[in-house]
Amino acid sequence: MALWWPCRSAVFQVFALLWLCSVQQALGDVCEPSNGTLLFDRYTSKLIPPERRFMLFASDTLGVNSKSVETLDFDHAKCIEAGNETVVIRPCNSSIVSQKWYQLHNQLVSIPIGKCIASEPNNFDTDLQLKNCRTGQPSQEWSCLHHNSTEVLLSSAGRFLAVSSGTVHTVDTKPANWRWKIADNSGKVLEKNPAAKRLCLTAASACPFPKQGVRSYFVTSDTALAKVMHPPKELVLKHLGDTIRMCYAVGNNILAVCPLGFVALGSQTKQHQEKTCLAGGVWSEQQPLHCVRRSCGRPDEGHHSTFIAERGYLYGDVVHYTCDAEYIPDRSSRICGPDGRWSGFALYCKHSCQFYLTGNSGTVTSPNYPQPYPASKNCEWKIEVEQGLRVVIWFRDFFIEPGSPFTGDCRHDVFYINDTIGNKIKQFCGSLYPESWIAA
């Protein structure tokens, strides 16, 4: 980002700094892509700035007194140079770009052609070749055994890089005399290798784009606001301007979010994950955010009702309540919401106390008979018979709250017999009742 501002500051600076900005962009896009991804090409490698290029030379002299590799005797110091498709050894010359290299993690990239040194011990012509730089290629990964602060042994796939008879190749055992050293872009011998110039970094200096979990998504400037209304507002606003990048610098953050109604796998409340890029190229949260539907749990049982779930008790699922026989209302439904709660309430059913008798005979009983009937009930039986017939009622068992001992009027519970238009023609209470009643 340090190179971006000057490129926009003034018109006369655009052409001078466009190359540097392109370099920054190119270097930022080669950070641990997926396995097998092409990392570099001829164009990209040429964008590497001079200060990040180096020369790799071998010396059989433990102490190098010269300040420049170009003044070293070729018999005692040799530089690696990129050929057409192979690697050769030549007298060191800082003006030859084919002797300039760049380190990408544990790979050695040729500046002019953008390919990596690969160890191919089964090749009959030469066991060192230049191949397209790709991840997940063990033959392109070089590790280091430090002989001292300035000398290293380079190895790949268990074989060591060595110089003999004027050629460079790999051998099975550690070379006895030759050690590899680094010179900067101008050919100056680096007696003390700074971390940025070491051939093999122990860890990446930036974090790759993290893996995306199941059903989760990263919050960026392209994210619709309606999709991120459920996480904390301050956290969402912090990341709404983010962009997806191949590489993230140490200290950078990225926010992963579960959709509405989903939570992190193994949690009932976690709906987001903010990762921070740490030193060493690793994220603070190693595992991706996998999201599953939130659970509302088993809903409450209703009163004199039962429920049936369409699928289960997760977000979006529906349960249907049904009242027991002779209870009202008939049914209702509840849905599992995004907050992990069921909508509405469990169905509370009341006894309907509405009965219809249409046959030539039947039996009328109070609710819960022969047990006492519930309190606060208003029950009604409608009896219909064919035209020309009359209704005859026989009382077999009768006891309700008594009426007034003085007047006999029913003050509380009462049993009415009404005619077809609702007129009360008979009422009973207490335990006194006629043996039968015949409709007029």
Beta strand spans in 149-197 (E):
152-156, 159-164, 167-171, 179-184
Spatial separation of the C-alpha atoms in residues 72 and 429, rounded to whole Å:
126
Question: Residue 12: its pLDDT value, please?
Answer: 28
Interval 249-283: pLDDT, tens: 778 899 999 999 999 999 989 999 999 988 667 88
Question: Residue 124: its pLDDT value, please?
Answer: 52
Beta strand spans in 223-303 (E):
247-248, 253-257, 262-264, 272-278, 282-283, 291-293
Question: Residue 162: its pLDDT value, please?
Answer: 83
Question: Residue 403: its pLDDT value, please?
Answer: 78
Question: Residue 315: its pLDDT value, please?
Answer: 96
First to last CA, the chain: 101
Question: Residue 94: its pLDDT value, please?
Answer: 92
Task: Look at residues 82, 85, 80, 83 and name the one whose alpha carbon lies nearest to residue 69.
Answer: 80
Q: What share of the chain is helix, strand, coil (3-state, %, to 5)?
A: 10, 30, 55
Contact 242, 236 (CB under 8 A): no
Threshold 0.85, pTM exceeds: no
* CA dihedral of residues 277, 278, 281, 282 (deg, nearest 10): -80
Spatial separation of the C-alpha atoms in residues 213 and 254, rounded to whole Å:
13
Question: Residue 200: its pLDDT value, please?
Answer: 44
Question: Residue 249: its pLDDT value, please?
Answer: 74
Please tell me whether residue 143 adopts helix, strand or coil conformation. strand
Spatial separation of the C-alpha atoms in residues 318 and 340, rounded to whole Å:
13
Question: Residue 64: its pLDDT value, please?
Answer: 62
Q: Determine the residue type at 419.
A: D
Map tokens 């015949």 to a residue.
438
* CA dihedral of residues 307, 308, 309, 310 (deg, nearest 10): -140
Ranges of the chain whose pLDDT falls below 70: 1-40, 62-65, 105, 123-126, 144-153, 157-158, 191-206, 246, 279-280, 408, 420-425, 433-435, 440
Q: To 5 degrees, how large is the angle CA 363–CA 368–CA 370?
A: 70
Question: Residue 14: its pLDDT value, please?
Answer: 27
Contact 321, 331 (CB under 8 A): yes
